[in-house]
């Protein structure tokens, strides 16, 4: 689904357009302006919309890699570990290159139990995220020394204003966000077209907003020990994108 598709469905939900009746450019722009106003206002409520981003960086044998816009891992700094869906690495030294998923980050408790944090091995078994500010730090364990490796992070990236030129961009959102945006956009756009939202829209929006707000809060960490983390016996946290424990 693109932003254009989302706005089109919003206008259909409001009864402004029928199905298979494309919205006019002016009406599309009106909704886009209100979408951007709403995205901006959500920031004042400490509630942001996030989409999933896949970012890679060269693994050079360092014990720590800075993360943030303009840093070694060039992506918006995750506010906390709950905003990281998973880590992995890509071996580019073979053909075809292949990616090895490593799951969610090592938790604070699990990282504290690692006695030899500078242990070196060919490949990492996991990554720890230290949410320092203004740039965070990603620390592999063990520290990999195999050549031709790329680190991989899947993280939540806050959505900024949607430019008119990007209205056709595909939306990649965690579960629940698309419904939240559609309901909220109906409420934002209805006055511009002098129509009323559906009877259940306000209450459904409040429910969807509460669900999203929970996703945007740091999840409590449950430590199963470093052995459980490395061998897959316990991840020690929930996945904010799938809802799985």
Q: Which of 37-46, 60-69, 150-159, 229-238 has the lowest average pLDDT?
A: 229-238
Mean pLDDT of the 40-58 span: 84
Q: Per residue in 140-174, pLDDT tens?
A: 999 999 999 999 999 988 888 888 888 998 887 77
Q: Per residue in 184-228, pLDDT tens?
A: 999 999 999 999 999 999 999 999 988 877 766 543 333 333 434
Cβ neighbour number for residue 135 with a 10 Å cutoff: 16
List, in order, residues 6 or more apart from 228 with CB less than 8 Å away.
Answer: 234, 236
Global pTM? 0.67
What pLDDT sits at residue 224? 36
More confident residue, 55 or 227: 55
What pLDDT sits at residue 223? 32
What pLDDT sits at residue 217? 59
Domain positions in the chain: 3-48+161-215, 51-157
What pLDDT sits at residue 221? 34
Q: State how far the Cα of 104 lies from the Cα of 162, in Å rounded to an integer.
A: 29
What pLDDT sits at residue 174? 73
What pLDDT sits at residue 177? 84
Beta strands in the chain (DSSP E): 50-58, 65-67, 84-91, 98-103, 120-121, 126-130, 136-141, 143-144, 149-158
DSSP-assigned letter for residue 200: T
Smallest CA-to-CA distance from 97 within 148, 57, 141 is with 148
What pLDDT sits at residue 226? 41
More confident residue, 136 or 239: 136
Smallest CA-to-CA distance from 102 within 204, 235, 209 is with 235
């Amino acid at each position: 689904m693109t932003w254009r598709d989302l706005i089109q469905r919003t206008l259909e939900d409001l009864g402004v357009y029928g199905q298979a009746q494309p919205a006019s450019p002016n009406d599309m722009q009106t909704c886009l302006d209100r979408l951007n106003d709403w995205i901006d206002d959500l920031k004042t409520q400490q509630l942001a919309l996030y989409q999933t981003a896949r970012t890679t960086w060269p693994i050079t044998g360092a014990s720590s890699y800075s993360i943030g816009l303009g840093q070694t891992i060039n992506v918006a700094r995750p506010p906390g570990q709950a905003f990281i869906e998973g880590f992995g690495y890509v071996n580019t030294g073979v053909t075809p290159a292949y990616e090895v998923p490593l799951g969610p980050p090592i938790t604070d408790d699990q990282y504290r139990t690692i006695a030899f944090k500078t242990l070196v091995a060919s490949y990492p078994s996991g990554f720890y995220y230290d949410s320092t500010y203004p740039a965070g730090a990603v620390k592999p364990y063990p520290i990999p020394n195999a050549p031709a490796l790329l680190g991989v992070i899947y993280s939540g990236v806050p959505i900024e204003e949607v430019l008119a030129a990007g209205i056709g961009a595909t939306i990649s959102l965690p579960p629940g966000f698309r419904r939240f945006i559609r309901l909220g956009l109906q409420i934002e756009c209805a006055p511009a077209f002098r129509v009323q939202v559906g009877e259940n829209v306000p209450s459904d929006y409040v429910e969807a907003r509460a669900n999203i707000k929970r996703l945007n809060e740091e999840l409590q960490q449950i430590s199963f020990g470093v052995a459980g983390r490395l061998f897959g016996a316990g991840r020690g946290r929930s996945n904010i994108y799938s809802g799985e424990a």
